Structure formats: C-alpha cells, structure tokens
C-alpha cells in the first residue's frame, strides 16, 4: 500500500500516540523496526500517519513498548480498524483539509465543550447567520466556495441527530450574542435558534455577560473535544489563520483549567436563556 499523501488528523493522531508510546519506552526507531521485522523507514511513516497500520500490529507495538494501559491500546487498535470514510470526505479537494478535520473530530467525540467570545459556535448557527459570516471573508469567497463551506457547516450539525449524540456545552460571551451578522432580523432568528437548541437534553448554553469583566483567553475561541479516555482528548483552536489541533497533555490540562475558569464566570443555564431572550427582544 503506497504512503498517504495527506493523512487526516485522526490518522496522524494514531501515529502520534504510537510515537509517544515508543519514546516513553526508550526504544529507538531502529529497535522498534527490528522487533517488527520491517524496514526502519516504516516506523516514522506509521508515526506520521502516512502508512496505515492494522489493529494487531498496534497491539504488537504496544506490547513491545511495555504499555500497561489496556484501555488506551484498545482505543488505538479501534482507530486502526476504521476503514469507512466519513460523510465529510465528499468535500475533500474542494475545502481546506483543516475544515474536514473538524468534522472528523466532532464525529468521534463523546463530548464537545466550546468557548467563544466574538462569534456564535458553528454547531449552533442558522444557515442565514452562517452565510452572513462567510460574506464578511477577506478576501471575499467565490460563490462556489461559499456554498461549499455553508453546506459543510450545516451538515456538521447532524452530529446532534445521530443515535448517540455527544454531550454539548457552549460558553458564549455576550459580545458574540450582540454581533448582528446579516442585520437585526437574522440576528434575532439566530438567538431564537440558540434558545431552541439549548432545550435539547444533552445541550447546555451558558453566557458570560460583559459585567463579568476580563478573563484569561478572552481573545480566542476553542473547542475541547473529549474522547472515551482523556489521553485522546483534543483541543481545536479557531483563528483568522485557520484551525489548529492540540493534543499534548500539558495543553489539554491548560484548556481544561481554562474551561473551568470560564464556567465560573458564566451565568447558569436558565439565567443564560433569559439573558439571550432579553437580547433577542431588543432586535
């Protein structure tokens, strides 16, 4: 099987976790390759996600690395067995790979915790609001690109319609709620949509009001995507330069702490709904 030219973020994550296990064991690339009976170049290609690896080989590597965490090994083996392409693959070649990585991340997460300060979370946006956001792109998006991004954003929201949807928590700053993308009518419909979505059993929306003052990380938006075990959690950062995925244990610990700080500043869920309703009534 030829090497992948553009491995997905999840394929790269599997390789990265195998690299961590090898490094923790103190084993070199040469030693790992010798134990597997493969050319030494194969190990770096596996660890970069460029070459696929089967579940049994994952277990063999973990055994060679003396990994005691059977839960982690089971999940890595399960990741190696994934062969079915997700719905987002139909957009590959038409949209930046980072956007498709977000879809893949959301699909495999058991919980999504989003914190935003100046925009509505993509999973809570109406189509009209999303189009208005894309209309502000600089440089302007060609209409086919805009339509492709809009279709992807709307399709992402189907993650809530599946049989076992992820737990979803959004901590939204008042600034984001008062941004009138598309004008007052679109903005009001957007706020009403958030209220409707916040009534779902596994969804919580909480608001940080202006009166909460300043707080760490106020200039960034991020999603903490929880996996079945915390070692495989991921943080997805949004910026004007695109999306970035973080998975080092130090970064995960930092963003878990930041989430707790933001939760401490946010209004309770019921008070947040009243707050959002009051803003909508002014539009």
232 in any annotated domain: yes
Mean pLDDT value across residues 275-281: 98
Q: What are phi and psi of 278, to 5 degrees?
A: -65, -40
72 in any annotated domain: yes
Q: Which segment of 2-6, 30-34, 244-248, 269-273 scores lowest on mean pLDDT?
A: 2-6
Same domain, 150 and 268: yes
Same domain, 69 and 163: no
2 in any annotated domain: no
Mean pLDDT value across residues 196-210: 96
The whole-model pTM stands at: 0.94
pLDDT, tens digit, for every residue of 248-267?
999 999 999 999 999 999 99
Retrieve residue 138's tokens: 């600089």
- Domain holding 97, by residue range, is 90-281
In this prediction, residue 264 carries a pLDDT of 96
Closest listed residue to residue 283, CA positions, set 197, 176, 180, 172: 180
Retrieve residue 198's tokens: 């916040």
Same domain, 219 and 180: yes
Same domain, 110 and 33: no
Retrieve residue 42's tokens: 């194969």
In the chain, how many domains are there? 2
53 in any annotated domain: yes
> Cβ(3)–Cβ(45) under 8 Å?
yes
Can you give the CATH number for the domain in which 144 is found?
3.30.870
Q: For residue 65, count other CB atoms closer than 10 A to its CB.
A: 20
Boundary-marking domain end, from 81, 108, 140: 81
In this prediction, residue 2 carries a pLDDT of 62
Measured between alpha carbons, how far is 63 from 152 in angstroms, rounded to an integer? 40
Q: Taking the chain, what is the end-to-end CA distance rounded to the nearest angstrom?
A: 58
The answer, yes or no, to whether residue 1 has pLDDT greater than 70, is no
Residues 6+ apart with CB under 8 A from 64: 25, 27, 32, 35, 36
Measured between alpha carbons, how far is 116 from 106 in angstroms, rounded to an integer? 17
């Amino acid at each position: 099987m030829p090497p992948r030219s553009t491995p997905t973020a999840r394929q790269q994550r599997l390789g990265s976790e195998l690299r961590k296990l090898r490094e923790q064991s103190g084993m070199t690339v040469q030693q790992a390759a010798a134990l597997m009976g493969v050319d030494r170049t194969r190990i770096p290609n596996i660890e970069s996600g460029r070459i696929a690896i089967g579940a049994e080989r994952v277990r063999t590597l973990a055994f060679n690395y003396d990994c005691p965490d059977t839960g982690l090994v089971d999940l890595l083996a399960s990741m190696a067995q994934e062969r079915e392409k997700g719905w987002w693959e139909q957009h590959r070649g038409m949209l930046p790979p980072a956007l498709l990585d977000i879809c893949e991340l959301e699909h495999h997460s058991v919980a999504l915790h989003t914190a935003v300060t100046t925009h509505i979370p993509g999973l809570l946006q109406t189509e009209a609001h999303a189009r208005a956001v894309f209309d502000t792109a600089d440089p302007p998006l060609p209409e086919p690109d805009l339509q492709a991004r809009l279709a992807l954003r709307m399709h992402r929201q189907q993650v809530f319609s599946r049989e076992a949807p992820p737990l979803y928590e959004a901590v939204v700053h008042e600034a984001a709620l008062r941004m009138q993308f598309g004008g007052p009518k679109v903005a009001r419909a957007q706020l009403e949509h958030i209220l409707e979505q916040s009534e779902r059993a596994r969804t919580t929306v909480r608001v940080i009001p202006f009166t909460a003052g300043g707080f760490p990380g106020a200039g960034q938006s991020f999603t903490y995507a929880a996996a079945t075990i915390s070692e495989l959690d991921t943080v997805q950062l949004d910026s004007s330069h695109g999306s970035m995925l973080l998975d080092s244990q130090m970064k995960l610990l930092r963003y878990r702490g930041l989430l707790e700080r933001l939760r401490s500043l946010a209004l309770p869920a019921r008070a947040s709904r009243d707050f959002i309703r009051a803003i909508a009534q002014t539009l």
